[in-house]
Amino acid sequence: MAEAELKAAHERLQHVLAVCPAIVYTTQASGDFACTFVSDNIEQILGYTARDMLDDPDFWTTHIHPQDTRRVSSEVSRLIHEGGGNLEYRFRHGDGHYRWFQDSFKTVFDGKGQPFEIVGSWADVTQRKLAESFQTLYQAGFRIHGPLGLKDWFDGFIRTARDVLHLDRLTILLADPGGKWLQATASTETKESLEKIRVPIGPEGGALAQVYQTQQPIAVDGHTPVPEHLQLKPPFDRIEAFRSPAFAVVPLLIQNHTIGVLAAGWRGKRPFDPAALEPLKLLATQAAVASEHSRLYAAAQPVLRRSLQLNDVYPAFAAAVKALLAYDRIGVVVPEDDNLMMALSVAEPPLASWQGQSWPHAEGTAGAWVLAEKKSRLVRDRAVEQFFAEDKFLLNEGVRSSLMLPLLAGDDAVGYFFLDHRAPHAYTERDLELLDPVAQQLALAIQNNRLLMELQEKGRQLEIASKHKSQFLASMSHELRTPLNAIVGYTELILDKIYGEIPDKVREALVRLDKNARHLLGLINEVLDLSKIESGSVDLALADYSMDEIVHMTTTALQGLAAEKQLMLRSTVQPGLPRGRGDERRITQVILNLLGNAIKFTETGEVHIAVITADDNFTVSVTDTGPGIAESDHARIFEEFQQAENASIVKKGGTGLGLAIAKRIIELHGGRIWVESSPGKGSVFSFTLPVQVQRQANES
């Protein structure tokens, strides 16, 4: 009878455990914490059988998320000796996903007071953790303040979202103003720069472009082939951030207007969980809100810049202070040479204004003390407190109490402002704290105004210097080019034996002379070319041209130079390129420069030029196997008279003008030029060019 009752009780316990929302377990209290009992509902909750856990002593320790292992190990040891407690950590589910669990346990001690056994329960708290993370992200979306805030928020946003949803890849892409490209703004993919993570809004953009255009999310489970119309087309299919067998894309919407997409991906063979689509939509909403906040901030910048004009700032400042504290007079005093000048003064009669007045910057005055000490001054009642000479003067004028605050921009005092009141004890120490943020804003406006004036003056001086430089270079180039042309011409005549036979040694010297004279003439022509571009005297000769023919002509012209260095020079041109409209001679000049540089600086290997067209633009790339260029030099090499600091490049010589000229020509066509390179890995110089150029990009 007792045995039957025990069996029935055991069965009831198993029924209770089967419907329990938590896994019940017992483990050893030391060593590898091997499991001694686990309820059968582990299979339903975690996807493992009870036997899986009982047969593997290391089961628990090897299934904890690697990022949680150290923390859990430390806390478990402490809690065991304290008698038990609660832990939250990620544990790998049978399907490969990590889920959040709350581990609650008690320690059973033996007769000697030593930990003997652990009795506990596991509860899946993934949904709660998910909700908490979403709440954090939701709140963060409304704390965006300016572009820097947006970037910081996006970076934290995608990392948190990736961990919460167990993603391998997560990328936010925003549409460009023209609605032609989706450009990555943030991505968990670190193998590629954000500039490289971009796709066209068209058939080549696959699922990303379709979601942007239709506003409908798309999910691919990874088990079936991706439909043709959802696949990225070359060369965009090589972007590492999008190479996932299972992925989901959701639109970023603001008032039913699409501003971009959110792309998530899984590297492995894990199936896509349809339930993840809803959280992704929520995340996309927050990303869109954050982006819109940033856009509104940027749109407000012209207004802010206008308000930085001090004539506008001072009245607004006085009104802002008036809303905080009452005053009978407010003034802003700024240093001006060796004097102090009253830049703002608003006074209630009978107090005087003093607007626009100035006086010597003398020691022993309250203003000089505030500027020197960079401290505030509070005068509660001048009938009692008179530390400076002007205190008596102000008391006679009827001013009983005052505040004075320095205007600090960093470590510099750019002025001070004061409030005067005819009543005693009108202000307190708390009022100083209240006005301090307002003082900081005014100080920043004054500092920005000063910097603006300095920049304008320096800009004016640089403009004058640049004009003089261009005039000098143009004049010098013209003066030098005439005798050099004569030298080249006469050298050719002598080498052609117009004046009779010449000895071999003289011929050898004349050949060197001709080569160096032509080189110098080329350098002078580059200087003259840049001077023309800088002066705005270069007009594009717009006409129809064939990009295919330009590539063929330039590679043919440079084949001999490449052969001399035993380099392979090859080209790849997309079939069916449309005819372009632009300045054929200038475009040819750019390609010749890029190919010539590649051959010049490459000692072994090959030089390859490739041309594709997409979205009404040519993209031309010149790839070499040369020494490569450090990232710190990428922007500098497109500046005038600049070269990379690589020793193998410097020793080749040159003016450092070729790339600067190429950049100006491409920009005149409305395109852009850039380089991708690193030391020892060669370089890729690329530029985009509108297929149809209607007018110069700098024309109004």
In one-letter notation, the amino acid at residue 416 is Y
The DSSP string of 298-367 is HHHHHHHHHHTSHHHHHHHHHHHHHHHS--SEEEEEEEETTEEEEEEEEE-TTS---TT-EEE--TTSHH
User: Cα-flanking dihedrals φ and ψ of residue 407, to 5°?
Assistant: -100, 105
CA distances (Å), 150 to each of 73, 137, 141, 146, 365, in order? 37, 13, 9, 6, 46
What is the predicted pLDDT for the residue at 141?
45
CA distances (Å), 530 to each of 369, 662, 664, in order? 55, 10, 9
In one-letter notation, the amino acid at residue 509 is A
Place of tokens 């628990």: 60
In eight-state DSSP terms, residue 698 is T
Mind listing the pLDDT tens digit for each residue in 2-52? 565 555 555 555 555 555 678 888 888 877 778 888 888 888 888 999 899
Cα distance between residue 244 and residue 240, in whole Å:
8
**Residues whose CB falls within 8 Å of the CB of residue 392, separated by 6 or more in sequence, listed in order:** 382, 386
Mind listing the pLDDT tens digit for each residue in 43-57? 888 899 989 989 998
CA distances (Å), 161 to each of 31, 169, 670, in order? 35, 10, 38
Mind listing the pLDDT tens digit for each residue in 203-244? 999 999 999 999 999 988 777 788 888 999 999 988 888 888
CA within 13 Å, CB half, 29: 21
What is the predicted pLDDT for the residue at 145?
39
Mind listing the pLDDT tens digit for each residue in 675-687? 999 898 899 999 9
Strand, coil or helix: what is 417?
A: strand
Measured in residues, the chain has a length of 700
Q: State how beta strands 257-266 and 181-187 pair.
A: unpaired
Tokens representing 404 are 């004075």
Q: Of 364-368, 478-482, 631-635, 643-647, where does mean pLDDT reach its minimum?
A: 643-647
- Helices and strands, counts by H and E, the chain: 18, 24
In eight-state DSSP terms, residue 409 is E
CA distances (Å), 53 to each of 26, 59, 123, 622, in order? 11, 6, 16, 58
What is the predicted pLDDT for the residue at 700?
42
Cα distance between residue 78 and residue 83, in whole Å:
9
- pLDDT for residue 170 is more than 80: yes
- pLDDT for residue 553 is more than 60: yes
- pLDDT for residue 649 is more than 50: no
In one-letter notation, the amino acid at residue 300 is A
Please name which of 165, 99, 111, 173 lies closest in space to residue 133, comparing C-alpha atoms. 165
CA distances (Å), 246 to each of 98, 224, 357, in order? 17, 9, 73
Cα distance between residue 465 and residue 32, in whole Å:
76
What is the predicted pLDDT for the residue at 146?
38
Q: Of 158-162, 463-467, 476-480, where does mean pLDDT reach its minimum?
A: 476-480
Give the other-Cβ count within 10 Å of 14's Cβ. Answer: 12
Q: Are 620 and 629 in contact (CB under 8 A)?
A: no
What is the predicted pLDDT for the residue at 527?
60
In one-letter notation, the amino acid at residue 287 is A
> Sorting pLDDT into bands at 50, 70 and 90, what band is 149?
low
Q: Are 91 and 103 in contact (CB under 8 A)?
A: no
Tokens representing 212 are 């942007």
- Mean pLDDT score, 310-332: 78
Q: State how beta strands 84-92 and 35-38 pair.
A: unpaired
> Sorting pLDDT into bands at 50, 70 and 90, what band is 269?
low
What is the predicted pLDDT for the residue at 144?
41
Q: State how beta strands 568-573 and 606-614 pair.
A: parallel
Q: Are 554 and 571 in contact (CB under 8 A)?
A: no
> Sorting pLDDT into bands at 50, 70 and 90, what band is 567?
very high
Tokens representing 153 are 């928020």
- pLDDT for residue 488 is more than 80: no
Mind listing the pLDDT tens digit for each residue in 270-287? 555 555 677 788 778 777
In eight-state DSSP terms, residue 578 is P
Predicted TM-score (pTM) of the model is 0.36
- Mean pLDDT score, 96-114: 87
Cα distance between residue 608 and residue 377, in whole Å:
71
What is the predicted pLDDT for the residue at 572?
95
The DSSP string of 135-146 is HHHHHHTT---H
What is the predicted pLDDT for the residue at 147?
40
In one-letter notation, the amino acid at residue 97 is H
What is the predicted pLDDT for the residue at 140?
47
Strand, coil or helix: what is 625?
A: coil
Q: Are 237 and 203 in contact (CB under 8 A)?
A: no
Please name which of 675, 667, 558, 664 lies closest in space to residue 623, comparing C-alpha atoms. 675
- pLDDT for residue 394 is more than 80: yes
Average pLDDT, the chain: 80
